[in-house]
């Protein structure tokens, strides 16, 4: 087995990826309280909201309010998801409140059309403008490629195609590229092979794995990514988040499950597992339903 990293970086995406997929709109004050709880866990990267159209995603219509009100410790890098130039324009009115943006597209044409009504090339052209503008504003840019490991409409997505899109994002100004297993189709062998190729194809670029636990393979895929040298992951507290296709599918791997596994393996995150569990418990109370995370129900491993 290849050598595993000593430490990894984790971006918490629950306040965006999770909250946006809740059937009901969470009260702004509750969002702020939960994000601030996450800010006290040692997490150094938090995606707090998204500047998508409020009529399309009413769950995040309070992006401005959340961004302005939330108080996070200085070392926390705050990121927001930006769908297009209009979204960036809205976000830039609050330029001093965040450090990074995340722009996204899908690797497969059909998923991209279904998701944003554009071809992949049209999305790339738009993202280049958005990232160019964001870079000029001193913002760090992450490009996220959905359906990197498979598409619910098209099936197999060639790794070569994903890497071409990643390269275009890097040319457009991205320092980091996230690869999303949007509907949980990835398997560990595929992941290890993919990230091995990605490291060769994209030297000097931060490669981030964004796995969903749709079919229970999220953490197995994390291990495979670690073995391929990946040191950056995205996850969601409480396993919040889902995806409209396939209907009812569970979402991101849970931050507390991820941290628990990494710490048990001797890989540092700088994050307090108990504090993340407390934040997930608070989210559970706000939502009034049990969340999917394993460590939230079982508790941390205790060696007696």
Residues carrying an active site annotation: 243
Residue 17 is a binding residue for Zn ion (CB under 5 A): yes
Which pair of structure tokens corresponds to residue 169?
A: 């994002």
Q: Pick between residue 87 and residue 251 the one whose CB is nearest to Zn ion.
A: 251
Residue 257 near Zn ion by CB under 5 A: no
DSSP string, 210-245: EEB-TTS-HHHHHHHHHHTT--EEEEBGGG--EESS
| Residues in region 21-80 near Zn ion by CB under 5 A | none
Q: Which is nearer to Zn ion, 43 or 128 (CB)?
A: 43
Of these, 49, 208, 252, 255, which contacts Zn ion (CB under 5 A)? 252
The count of other CB atoms within 10 Å of the CB of residue 75 is: 11
Burial-class residue 5 by CB neighbours within 10 Å (0-12, 13-18, 19+).
middle
Kindly state the smallest distance separating residue 251's Cβ from Zn ion, in Å: 6
Residue 239 Cβ vs Zn ion, minimum distance, rounded to whole Å: 11
Closest distance to Zn ion from the beta carbon of 208 (Å): 11
Task: Please report how close the Cβ of residue 6 comes to Zn ion at its closest, in angstroms.
Answer: 26
Nearest to 254, CA basis, from 286, 290, 227: 290
Residue with Cβ nearer Zn ion (81 or 228): 81
Residue 35 vs 133, nearer CB to Zn ion: 35
Question: 14: how many CB neighbours lie within 10 A of its CB?
Answer: 30
Output 19 or 194, the one with its CB closest to Zn ion.
Answer: 19
User: CA-to-CA distance for 194 and 225, rounded, in angstroms?
Assistant: 9
Q: Phi/psi at 292 (nearest 5 deg)?
A: -80, -10
Segment near Zn ion (CB under 5 A); pick from 38-46, 55-63, 118-126, 249-257: 249-257
- Residue 104: its H or E element: strand 100-106
Segment contacting Zn ion by CB under 5 A, of 47-55, 135-143, 222-230, 250-258 = 250-258
| 256 forms part of the interface with Zn ion (CB under 5 A) | no
The answer to whether the CB of 65 falls within 8 A of the CB of 99 is: no
Site string for Zn ion, 150-189 (x = CB under 5 A): ----------------------------------------
The secondary structure of the chain in percent helix, strand, coil, rounded to multiples of 5, reads: 45, 20, 35
Among residues 128 and 152, whose Cβ is nearest to Zn ion?
152
- Mark residues 112-131: x for contact with Zn ion by CB under 5 A, - for none: --------------------
# binding residues, Zn ion (CB under 5 A) = 2
Please count the other Cβ atoms lying within 10 Å of the Cβ belonging to residue 58. Answer: 13
- d(Cα 220, Cα 179) in Å, to the nearest integer? 16
- Tokens coding 158: 């060639």
3-state secondary structure of 254: strand
Which range in 143-151, 157-165, 244-252, 278-286 contacts Zn ion by CB under 5 A? Answer: 244-252
CB of 187 to Zn ion, least distance (A): 18
Binding site for Zn ion (CB under 5 A): 17, 252
């Amino acid at each position: 087995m290849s050598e595993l990293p000593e430490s990894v970086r984790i971006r918490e995406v629950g306040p965006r990826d999770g909250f946006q997929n809740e059937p009901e709109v969470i009260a702004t004050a509750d969002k702020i309280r939960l994000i601030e709880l996450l800010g006290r866990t040692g997490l150094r990267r938090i995606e707090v909201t998204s500047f998508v159209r409020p009529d399309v995603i009413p769950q995040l219509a309070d992006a401005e309010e959340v961004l302005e009100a939330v108080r996070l410790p200085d070392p926390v890098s705050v990121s927001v998801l930006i769908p297009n130039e209009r979204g960036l324009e809205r976000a830039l009115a609050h330029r001093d409140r965040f450090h990074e943006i995340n722009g996204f597209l899908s690797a497969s044409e059909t998923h991209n059309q279904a998701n944003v009504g554009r071809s992949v090339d049209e999305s790339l052209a738009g993202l280049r403008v958005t990232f160019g503008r964001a870079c000029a504003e001193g913002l760090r840019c992450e490009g996220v490629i959905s359906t990197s490991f498979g598409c619910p409409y098209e099936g197999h997505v060639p790794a070569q195609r994903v890497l071409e899109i990643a390269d275009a994002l890097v040319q457009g100004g991205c320092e980091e590229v996230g690869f999303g297993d949007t509907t949980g189709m990835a398997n560990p062998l595929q992941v290890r092979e993919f990230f091995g190729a990605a490291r060769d194809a994209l030297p000097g670029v931060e490669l981030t794995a964004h796995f969903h636990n749709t079919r229970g393979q999220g953490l197995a895929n994390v291990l495979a990514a670690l073995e391929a040298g990946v040191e950056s992951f995205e996850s969601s507290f409480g396993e919040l988040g889902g995806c409209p296709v396939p209907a009812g599918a569970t979402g991101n791997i849970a931050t507390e499950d991820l941290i628990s596994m990494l710490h048990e393996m001797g890989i540092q995150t700088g994050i307090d597992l108990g504090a993340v569990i407390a934040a997930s418990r608070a989210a559970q109370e706000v939502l009034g339903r049990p969340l999917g995370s394993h460590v939230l129900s079982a508790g941390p491993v205790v060696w007696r």
